[in-house]
Amino acid sequence: MTGQKLILLSARDVTGTRTGRITVLETAVRSLQAIGYSLEILALTKDQGPSTWLGCPVHRIETPSVKTLPPRALRALVSGKTLNEIVFDSSGVQGQVAQLCQQLGARAIIGDGIRTWNLAKSTGLPIVMHLDDLLSERYSSESFQANNDSVLGYFGEQIPAPLLPLAEGLAGRLLGLEAKNAYQREIQIAQEAQAVALTGKEEAQILAERAGVKVYDLPMAVAQGELISAGNNPANQLVFLGAMHYSPNLGALRYFRDQVLPVLQERGRSLELTVIGKIDPKVQAEFAGSPIFFKGYVDDLQAELSKYRIFISPVQSGTGIKTKVLDAFSIGLPVVASPLGVAGIPRSDEEAYLVGETPAELASYIEELMDQPERANQIGAAGYRLLGEEMNPKIVEDNWKTALEQALEGNK
């Protein structure tokens, strides 16, 4: 095993903005390195950046032009593939991936999401296919359709601004069909890949039942820092973590401003919410005059988070585990969240986070932690323990080892 070469086929520039998905990939790399494998990264991206990441060489493969998107989309619809798969649907890209894998002497390949499936399959190598989350569940969700400004997500950044509204409108109308195609493709991929994984345990169980195969849950792992006593921090200081160019984060912030904050203000509460993460100037202008302030990126996330009393995650759309919540757990910062804000995170015997299904419930939990510093410490400490027991690096490392062994041995 030691020294065997693996390829991580990434659907993004891993050296760019740190997102939840990149944290999942980071966990995969560190886990596989810890058990003796060496990795090289094939990043499907037009962006330029560092030539190494986590000690791994990064090979950049330029993605197809958006000008060729319409004919590729038509081919996908006719063949029953998802529209997500057409992003990299190119014989040129396929040839480069296959050639590099052969030149590098790769033993197996790890696919990053459904977009990389056809490229990974073309290499002929054993595949661990990490699907991230179930697109079929995401796209069929009413909350996703109602709470997203951008159906295209990060891919929308590649489309020229004049064409973006048209592309978004078309993608929105095709969501139902995309959900149906994704449902079938996810089953097919699970049955064909040597090993398949999702980020969350619940979604892994769903796909396992649909496909009749073992599906691993391989989440991100966040290392624990020093446990804080959040109850000692100012009661009116709340914090939210997320890049503002990602629609579910923006939707969550708007929900807090429009639905939760008015309840708190009617009850006579005065507070400040600090937002950490990539700033969008238009978003910043939109929230001007509110008690919501944008700090941008920080050098030491755990040190910054340790200044606040309450972490909020009022997410209203999207799927998968929210890395932001794990970052709060990592220092014992108590979390108040919507159900989607803690989706995929295990429950424990003790109350590790507070979940409000309505604006009034979220407001009440925020008030509870504002007024009861010991309660804030109790919830924070329980979240800290949950992270250590369920989602620490060693546990995820062991699961990655098992998944890769299955892929290499060909036993499903």
Find the CATH number of the domain harbouring 329: 3.40.50.2000
| Same-domain status, 17 and 155 | yes
Shared domain for 173 and 24, answered yes or no, is: yes
Q: How far apart are CA 176 and CA 221, in angstroms?
A: 33
DSSP E strands: which ranges in 45-155? Answer: 52-53, 56-61, 108-112, 127-130
Q: Distance between CA atoms of 341 and 352, rounded to whole angstroms?
A: 13
One domain for residues 211 and 337? no
Same domain flag for 85 and 200: yes
Residues 372 and 402 in one domain: no
| Domain count for the chain | 2
User: Are residues 24 and 123 part of one domain?
Assistant: yes
List all residues 6 or more positions away from 362 whose beta carbon is below 8 Å from its beta carbon: 260, 312, 314, 336, 338, 356
Q: Whole domain around residue 158: which residue ranges?
A: 5-221+393-409
For residues 157 and 253, state if they share a domain: no
Provide the pLDDT for residue 156.
Answer: 54
DSSP 3-state of 411: coil
Query: What are the two backbone dihedrals, phi and then psi, of residue 217, each rounded to the nearest 5 degrees?
Result: -100, 115
Contact in structure between 308 and 274 (CB atoms under 8 Å): yes
Q: Answer yes or no: do 97 and 171 share one domain.
A: yes
Burial class, 142, CB count within 10 angstroms (exposed 0-12 / middle 13-18 / buried 19+): exposed
At 143 the pLDDT is 64
Shared-domain flag, residues 343 and 369: yes
Query: What is the pTM assigned to this prediction?
Result: 0.78
Sites in the chain below the pLDDT cut of 70: 1-3, 66-70, 143-173, 318-320, 411-412
Cβ(214)–Cβ(406) under 8 Å?
A: yes
**Are 128 and 93 a contacting pair, CB within 8 Å?**
no
Contacts of 135 (CB under 8 A, 6+ apart): 82, 84, 114, 178, 179, 182, 186
**Residues 249 and 198 occupy one common structural domain:** no
If asked whether residues 270 and 327 sit together in one domain, one would say yes
In terms of domains, do 180 and 272 share one? no
Answer whether 216's CB lies under 8 Å from 368's CB: no
